[in-house]
Amino acid sequence: MANWEYKVISSGKGGFASPALMEKFINDLGQEQWEIIGFQTAPDNSLAFTGLARRPTQRDWTLEDAAAAAARAEADKLRAEFEAKFKAGTSGAAATAEEDKAETFLAEERTDADGSLRRLRDTSRDDDPDAAEDESAPKDEWDKLAAEDELPTFFDALRPHMRRNQRGPGMSVGVDFLAKKWRLEESDIKGALVECGLQIPADENAKPVYVEYEGELFWVNINRRGEIWINLRDKPEPVFRIVQGKRLSDEEAAAENVPVNPPAPRAEERRRDDRQENRGRAPQPQPVPAESGAGESAPAPQAPPAAPRTFLGKIRGMMRRNRRGHGWSGSFPFLTKALKTDEAGLLAQLAEQGLKLQPEGEQKPAFHEEGEFLYWLQKNQRGEIWINARKARKSENGELQAEDGDTGADEGGDAASAGSPAPAAAQPAELPPPSPANTLAAVRLLLQPKKRGEGCAALVPEVAAQLGQSEDKLLAALTAAGLNVPEDAKAKPTFGEHGGEIFWLNRNTKDELWLNAKLSKSAAAKKSRPRKKSDEAAAD
């Protein structure tokens, strides 16, 4: 029969806060195998109760318990028999051997100090091939060997602890770090390195010895602090195969007709060189083959070999074509960066080629002819040095002149064009007679609308270039028309009026001289005034 233990249960004086909490309390009692035999709730609160619960303290009889008891009784009986035979001394050597065997058998059968049998093993799933093994069973030597086979290799165990190198390819890990991580001695890890085929170098300058494992290379090195590091990187894949070529002498190369040419430049470099070489070069007419009497065309003439490029020719390839007029120009700030030199060095190289900058007082530049081009140096109003190039020709008196008479640099500004001589073949058109009306009417056509504000304006050097006159001559005509030339940006201008517009000159912070025009106040008021009926009738 089973024995019972009892416990008084209660929800407390105030009861449970909700039915869910009360239900959870009762369910917990059931899971602990308590059986409620008395239950009484409070009259004013259904969630407050007291009661009595019980649970068994001794299990009912089972087949396993009976089998264990029978086994223990049988073991006690055998033990008593063997003990009586041993005390009697009637057994000989064979009896002693059997007794030892029996004692060993009993020792194997006994697992507890109270003489109980060995732990029972569940044999119900012995025939099931998919049944899991009993992990709680003690492992024998075979199990230990199988467990060692399941351990990762030394190289595989290294990979999770390696970190990518900050300098160079691959990954690495220190031996001292592995010793702390694996809780081993550094000597054990060094021994494992040697057993795996790796070699520990003597110093930091020793040549490493590589070991390949699964397509990866491992090696050991020592740094300056004496720390040992294990390194890993991918094995490089071969991209070519070494073969022995046949070396030819000059005579054999000539006999074999082997062309000896320098390596061809890349396509992008060839295109860039062609653009620089052909910049500013006029297109050459294609020769038309002359037909002979027999109907056969004469062979086309071969082009002459290109002359070697000089220093000035190289600079001409870096220039850009002028926006106004003919020729090319380039600034010293750009050329010094392109040639990787300074201004003094570039001037020295140009002086070696025969091209020099004229002193400050000289207005006419010093021309230098090379090939079919004419070169000269000049400064603009901002003090920047510009190199200019034009097609060269000689005048009747033998002096060198620029083709088409335009010798000013596009970016050089006024200074590049002010001192350049104008050829006799292309004389500029004269300004109208120097009357204020004619002068202002002529320059008004060249002014452009302003991007901001009302009116229109234009740079005085540009107006002079479009009229074909020098800047000094244009300023003289504008001064005669009543406009003064301001000395700086703060100078107050004077105004001149023509055709309902007022004109004035001003200088900005960049020291550029501008000519401006806009409607006068009277003309603007007349334009905005509404028309009367009498004016409309007169217009009709």
The span from the CA of 439 to the CA of 515, in Å, is 12
Place of tokens 């199988």: 146
- Report whether pLDDT(277) > 90: no
The span from the CA of 367 to the CA of 354, in Å, is 9
No. of helices (H) and no. of strands (E), the chain: 18, 19
Residue 442: half-sphere exposure toward Cβ, Cα within 13 Å: 21
The span from the CA of 243 to the CA of 238, in Å, is 14
Place of tokens 């006024």: 414
Q: In the structure encoding, which two tokens stand for residue 226, read together?
A: 């004496």
The span from the CA of 277 to the CA of 63, in Å, is 109
Residue among 415, 414, 413, 417 at smallest CA distance from 402? 417
Q: Are 41 and 29 in contact (CB under 8 A)?
A: no
- Report whether pLDDT(337) > 90: no
Q: Is 527 helix (H, G, I), strand (E, B) or coil?
A: helix
pLDDT at residue number 321: 82
Give the DSSP letter string of 188-246. HHHHHHHHTT----SSTTSPP--EEETTEEEEEEE-TT--EEEEEEEPPPP-----PPP
pLDDT at residue number 411: 43
Domains of the chain: which residue ranges? Answer: 4-56, 154-234, 321-418, 436-527
Stretch 209-236: mean pLDDT: 91
The span from the CA of 391 to the CA of 81, in Å, is 135
Q: What are phi and psi of 400, to 5 degrees?
A: -80, 135
- Report whether pLDDT(535) > 90: no
Helical residues (DSSP H) of 266-400, grouped into ranges: 267-278, 311-318, 332-339, 343-352
Q: Are 412 and 376 in contact (CB under 8 A)?
A: no
Stretch 284-312: mean pLDDT: 50
- Report whether pLDDT(52) > 50: yes
* Range list of β-strands (E), 356-495: 368-370, 373-379, 385-394, 400-402, 448-449, 456-459
- pTM for the complete prediction? 0.26
pLDDT at residue number 438: 75
pLDDT at residue number 282: 44
Average pLDDT, the chain: 75
- Report whether pLDDT(320) > 70: yes
Residue among 100, 102, 120 at smallest CA distance from 111? 120
pLDDT at residue number 38: 92
The span from the CA of 224 to the CA of 230, in Å, is 15
Stretch 467-476: mean pLDDT: 86
- The type of residue at 419 is G
- Report whether pLDDT(518) > 70: yes
Q: Are 12 and 22 in contact (CB under 8 A)?
A: no
Stretch 185-196: mean pLDDT: 92
- Report whether pLDDT(280) > 90: no
Stretch 8-22: mean pLDDT: 89
pLDDT at residue number 119: 60
Q: In the structure encoding, which two tokens stand for residue 327, read together?
A: 């020729």
Higher pLDDT, 205 or 150: 205
Distance of CA 329 to the CA centre of its chain: 38
pLDDT at residue number 292: 39
User: Is residue 227 very low, low, confident or very high in pLDDT (cuts 50, 70, 90)?
Assistant: very high
Stretch 244-254: mean pLDDT: 77
